[in-house]
Amino acid sequence: MQVKKSLPVYDVIIVGSGAAGGISAHVLVNRGLKVLLLEIGPRWNRQDIFHTEHTWPYELPFRGLGRPGQYDRLWKVSAYTEHLYVHPFVDRYATAPGTDFHWTRIHAVGGRTNTWGRVSLRMAEWDFKPKSMQDGAGEDWPISYADLAPYYDRAEELMGVFGTQEGLPAIPDGKFHAPTPALRCGEVALVKGGRQVGVPVIPIRRAMYLRKSATAAACHYCGSCDYGCSTASRFSTLDSIIPGLTVHRNFTLRTGAAVHRVLLDRRTGKARGVEYIDTQTGKTSEARAKVVILGAGAMASTRILLNSTTKEMPGGITNSSGVLGHYLMDNPKSGFVSGWFPSLKAGEVFNDDGAGGGHSYIPRHTNIPGQSSRRLKALRGWQFQPATGSSRYPGYAKGIGGFGQDFKREVRDQNPARIFLAGFGECLPHFDNYCQIDPDGLKDRYGIPQLRFHTRWRENELKLADLMYDSAEEILRAAGAEISPYNRVIPPPHGDSTHEVGTARMGDDPRSSVLNRFNQAHDVKNLFVVDGASFVSCPEKNCTLSIAAVSWRASDYVAEEFRRGNF
């Protein structure tokens, strides 16, 4: 390892530049601290890297689906995105026998904010207190909704989240930008159907810029957000945060830095910095700081901590509790039910104010605390994110009979009338859902010990998954849709929702948690973890907005501690 005696000492080193690390850098640089941001991947030029954004399937070999078998069992990796994601068959991770896990990784400045779904939802008060306010299962967070609400405000303002004021306890209202895209025709029918069965259907909440700003063009409704955005019309830290930081003299961005572990000063018991591998040269170096913040994503940050061992702490320098890597959670996906509206059949195909995905959202409507209706023989509940209207991949055609012109006409006529529901359920925390450093010695391409996952869905998640199908059918029938034939399947593995959280949980008791209420490690006082690893529960909401708010709160605390001279 090459270590120079004259290494600069930063106020803060931040590892990772996505929703957690990017927000932390935004807060701390603007509070005047000297920050080094380390990112394992490159800094992309969006004009060059998102080149498939507007490509039609017929312009790509094999219609963009790849050679037969090329993308089998891969989630999100296709001909459109293989240059964006880490290929799991190339840079492998391990799964224990009889288990599975989908780990979606983007090694680049901005991380998964480059292609994320942009759905931005606040957690409800009871989501922070599931044990005491709901049903006794799981654990309460050491913070409340009131603690995080001001940071939700700031995150929504920065990220350009749009939405409508609905007054629903399951999904708190936010500080929304205008305008909010109008509901599509099928979604209007969905609203009416929801009213009939007592299920709210409201406009979606997304982090997208529908009006031109100083840094982004207005969304042009191409609907290809999953492949990136060449106009920066949706929030990503690559486009919305990093350019504003690089003009500051107290900010340094170092790309191609694969952080291996946190380094501990054994005299003081504090972190002195991190060790990283240059991804281009393979050389190992050290960076030093008064405070180290991990915001590389739940799994990546947990891997760094598990690899950060000493003779006295062989399980990781933050693992005196023995829970590091445990309580891994993700939202089970289910309720995949589609159909079509006879009233919209053979309608005109037009852009329909795209804004990248569906314009409606069905919040949790089961087991609501304080309400007696819609109680289930399962704990918690789920949300639905509907999709309506035409698509360039009419997968439903496989279920339509016929041949020749009549078949083509039926596929074409149903396209504008299609409706699809997909649900995300709550995941309860289980100690035996966990990740560890692979005991067989698997390493990544840089020689860093890799993770092995031990995760499976438990009884409550499987019950919710089945109930989601019943609920989807009920809502669609009430809306007047004809339901297409389908098979009920068990949810895809943990990680498939890309909402993985919980492996370095917060808590007031150091014997059962890794971090305190400010995301500060109990065992190492100048080490913080600000991403989803800190979560105590995994409600049905998409987690990115909450990650941004948690990171902002923790980073505010770090800045205040610096101001008080505590670092």
Residue 72 belongs to a domain: yes
**Residue 362: alpha-carbon gap to chain centroid:** 19
Residues 6+ apart with CB under 8 A from 389: 184, 185, 186, 352, 416, 418
What's the token pair of residue 57?
Answer: 């399937």
Residue 86 belongs to a domain: yes
CB of 204 closer than 8 Å to CB of 121: no
- How would you class 2 by CB atoms within 10 Å of its CB: exposed for 0-12, middle for 13-18, buried for 19 or more? exposed
CA angle at 309 for the pair 286 and 287, rounded to the nearest 5°: 10
Together in a domain, 449 and 464: no
> Which of 447, 473, 492 represents a domain boundary (last residue)?
492
Residue 165 belongs to a domain: no
> Which of 446, 468, 492 represents a domain boundary (last residue)?
492
Number of structural domains in the chain: 2
Domain CATH code at residue 190: 3.30.410
What's the token pair of residue 463?
Answer: 């019950």
DSSP element (H, E) containing 245: helix 242-245
- Read off the DSSP letter of residue 87: P
Together in a domain, 367 and 314: no
CB of 263 closer than 8 Å to CB of 235: no
Residue 103 belongs to a domain: yes
Q: Is the peptide bond before 179 cis (omega within 30 degrees of 0)?
A: yes
Domain CATH code at residue 42: 3.50.50.60
The residues pairing with 62 across neighbouring beta strands, listed in sequence order, are: none
Q: In terms of Cα–Cα distance, which of 371, 367, 421 is closest to 136? A: 367
- Distance (Å, whole) CA 87 – CA 99: 20
- Distance (Å, whole) CA 266 – CA 261: 15
pLDDT in the model for residue 351: 61
pLDDT in the model for residue 352: 56
Low-confidence stretches of the chain (pLDDT beneath 50): none
Together in a domain, 508 and 488: no
Residues 6+ apart with CB under 8 A from 429: 138, 139, 327, 329, 502, 505, 536, 537, 538
- Distance (Å, whole) CA 454 – CA 433: 6
pLDDT in the model for residue 503: 98
Look up the domain containing 115 and give its range: 1-160+235-331+429-455+499-567
- Distance (Å, whole) CA 99 – CA 320: 27
CB of 261 closer than 8 Å to CB of 307: yes
Residues 6+ apart with CB under 8 A from 395: none
pLDDT in the model for residue 5: 61
228 conformational bin, left if phi > 0, alpha if psi -120 to 50, beta if neither: left
Residue 286 belongs to a domain: yes
Together in a domain, 88 and 120: yes
DSSP element (H, E) containing 451: strand 451-454
Residue 61 belongs to a domain: yes
What's the token pair of residue 104?
Answer: 């979606």
The residues pairing with 261 across neighbouring beta strands, listed in sequence order, are: 275
DSSP element (H, E) containing 153: helix 145-159
Together in a domain, 336 and 321: no
Together in a domain, 338 and 440: no
What's the token pair of residue 462?
Answer: 């499987």
pLDDT in tens, 203-245: 999 999 988 877 788 888 887 888 899 899 999 999 999 999 9
Q: In terms of Cα–Cα distance, which of 437, 95, 132, 33 is closest to 261? A: 437
Residues 6+ apart with CB under 8 A from 355: 181, 206, 208, 210, 219, 221
Residue 174 belongs to a domain: no
Together in a domain, 256 and 374: no
Together in a domain, 504 and 403: no
CB of 214 closer than 8 Å to CB of 244: no
> Which of 472, 492, 512 represents a domain boundary (last residue)?
492
φ, ψ for residue 521 (rounded to 5)?
Answer: -65, 130
Together in a domain, 438 and 474: no
What's the token pair of residue 513?
Answer: 């948690």
- SS3 call for 323: coil
- Distance (Å, whole) CA 273 – CA 36: 11
Together in a domain, 115 and 250: yes
CB of 261 closer than 8 Å to CB of 254: no
The residues pairing with 506 across neighbouring beta strands, listed in sequence order, are: 515
The residues pairing with 277 across neighbouring beta strands, listed in sequence order, are: 258, 284
CB of 336 closer than 8 Å to CB of 421: yes
DSSP element (H, E) containing 410: helix 404-414
Together in a domain, 310 and 389: no
Whole-angstrom CA distances from 379 to 217, 251, 421, 465, 565 are 43, 46, 21, 12, 46
pLDDT in the model for residue 353: 52
- SS3 call for 424: strand
Identity of the residue numbered 87: H
**Residue 226: alpha-carbon gap to chain centroid:** 13
Residue 214 belongs to a domain: no
Together in a domain, 51 and 111: yes
